[in-house]
């Protein structure tokens, strides 16, 4: 019978995973915690909020138009008597959906190109020149041009709402992957020189498994940080497009569109721009704070202290 001898006291500490350490460090960043809390609240509000606040966002009550805040309409109503609170909730749904999907698309593209460029030496030059070319394109003018060109075609093909959603997500995703690709490529290049990669290479690991098993998990931290920046960027770009009148149509509210529509009534009802504007600003602020906290928490040089 073999008996397990108890290890010395120092080794008895419960095992800690890396992510627990990261969380501990993340918790020390006050702004990041607040940002996380706020972002979760916003996410919950736009997902389950419309079930609790049951007024339809499109419901027109023309007798109750242009009202100030009241119990029936906490945020007031617009020029057609539509409830602003439910419109802000519905708009948030679209804005956040656009932000998150566009971020995922940009992240996927950026990671793919970054990993391939960093891992395969032959493709490095062409892919990075390609990235430089994209970085040299004037993005906002091009986004506007592309929307003008393809809006009607897509609208006819898959319906007005899905069409514009797909278009906006696609163009934001396609035009914002470059930073991620550059960061990932740099990290992959550094990783390739490490001993464990050499060891893995020497036992004949194929490239595909090498990338999935050894490279990708180790470049996860820069990817996560650029994910947060990507959400913030996508939300701002979408609202900017809607604000220029080239995003979603008026009957399909997003935060940017609501802000744009409210600016027509700036002289008479100046308080109306407040809600969508605050929603965009606070969400982006909270996401940026989460990014700041994540960057600190994922940096091993800072985490140790």
Among 19, 121, 281, 300, binds another protein (CB under 8 A): 281
Among 102, 232, 234, 294, binds another protein (CB under 8 A): 232
Which residue reads 């998150």 in tokens? 100
Question: Site for another protein (CB under 8 A): how many residues?
Answer: 41
Query: Least distance to another protein from the beta carbon of 122, Å?
Result: 21
Per CB under 8 A, does 267 bind another protein? yes
Give how far Cα 261 sits from Cα of 59, 151, 282, Å: 17, 20, 20
Site for another protein in 123-142 (CB under 8 A): 132-133, 135-142
Neighbours of 131 (CB within 10 A): 20
d(CA 239, CA 255): 6
Give how far Cα 284 sits from Cα of 39, 173, 236, 257, Å: 9, 17, 8, 16
Site for another protein in 27-46 (CB under 8 A): 31
| Beta strand residue intervals within 75-206, DSSP E | none
Per CB under 8 A, does 236 bind another protein? yes
Cβ-based nearer residue to another protein, 46 or 241: 241
Per CB under 8 A, does 60 bind another protein? no
Which secondary-structure segment (H or E) carries 226? helix 220-243
The phi-psi region of residue 199 (left if phi > 0; otherwise alpha if psi is between -120 and 50; otherwise beta) is alpha
Cβ-based nearer residue to another protein, 77 or 239: 239
Kindly report the backbone phi and psi dihedral angles of residue 77, in degrees, each rounded to the nearest multiple of 5, phi listed first: -130, 165
The phi-psi region of residue 30 (left if phi > 0; otherwise alpha if psi is between -120 and 50; otherwise beta) is alpha
Per CB under 8 A, does 171 bind another protein? no
Neighbours of 173 (CB within 10 A): 22
Among 288, 290, 293, 298, binds another protein (CB under 8 A): 288
Cβ-based nearer residue to another protein, 72 or 142: 142
Per CB under 8 A, does 144 bind another protein? yes
Per CB under 8 A, does 231 bind another protein? no
Cβ-based nearer residue to another protein, 172 or 211: 172
Up-side HSE of residue 124: CA atoms within 13 Å toward CB?
10
d(CA 178, CA 110): 6
Per CB under 8 A, does 289 bind another protein? yes
Stretch that binds another protein, among 21-29, 74-82, 210-218, 258-266 (CB under 8 A): 258-266
d(CA 213, CA 65): 59
Stretch that binds another protein, among 45-53, 91-99, 209-217, 279-287 (CB under 8 A): 279-287
Binding residues for another protein (CB under 8 A): 31, 132-133, 135-142, 144-146, 148-149, 152-153, 232, 236, 239-240, 243-244, 246, 256, 259, 263, 266-267, 270-271, 273, 277, 280-281, 284-285, 288-289, 292
């Amino acid at each position: 019978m073999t008996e397990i001898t108890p290890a010395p006291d120092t080794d008895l500490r419960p095992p800690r995973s890396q992510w627990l350490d990261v969380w501990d460090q993340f918790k020390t960043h006050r702004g990041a915690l607040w940002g996380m809390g706020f972002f979760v609240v916003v996410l919950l509000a736009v997902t389950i909020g419309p079930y609790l606040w049951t007024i339809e966002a499109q419901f027109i009550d023309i007798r109750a138009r242009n009202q100030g805040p009241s119990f029936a309409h906490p945020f007031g109503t617009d020029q057609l008597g539509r409830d602003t609170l439910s419109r802000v909730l519905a708009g948030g749904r679209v804005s956040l959906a656009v932000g998150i999907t566009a971020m995922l698309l940009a992240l996927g593209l950026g990671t793919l190109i970054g990993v391939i460029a960093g891992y395969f030496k032959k493709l490095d030059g062409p892919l990075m020149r390609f990235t430089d070319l994209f970085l040299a394109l004037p993005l906002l003018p091009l986004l506007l041009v592309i929307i003008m060109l393809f809006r009607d075609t897509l609208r006819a093909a898959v319906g007005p709402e899905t069409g514009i959603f797909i278009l906006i997500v696609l163009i934001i995703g396609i035009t914002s992957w470059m930073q991620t690709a550059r960061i990932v490529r740099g990290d992959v290049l550094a990783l390739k020189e490490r001993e464990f990669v050499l060891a893995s290479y020497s036992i004949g690991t194929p490239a595909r498994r090498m990338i999935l098993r050894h490279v990708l998990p180790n470049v996860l931290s820069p990817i996560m940080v650029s994910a947060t920046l990507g959400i913030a960027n996508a939300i701002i770009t979408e609202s900017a497009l809607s604000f220029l009148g080239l995003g979603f149509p008026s009957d399909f509210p997003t935060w940017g569109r609501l802000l744009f529509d409210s600016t027509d009534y700036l002289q008479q009802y100046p308080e109306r721009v407040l809600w969508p504007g605050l929603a965009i600003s606070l969400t982006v602020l909270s996401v940026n704070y989460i990014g700041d906290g994540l960057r600190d928490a994922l940096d091993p040089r800072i985490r140790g202290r």
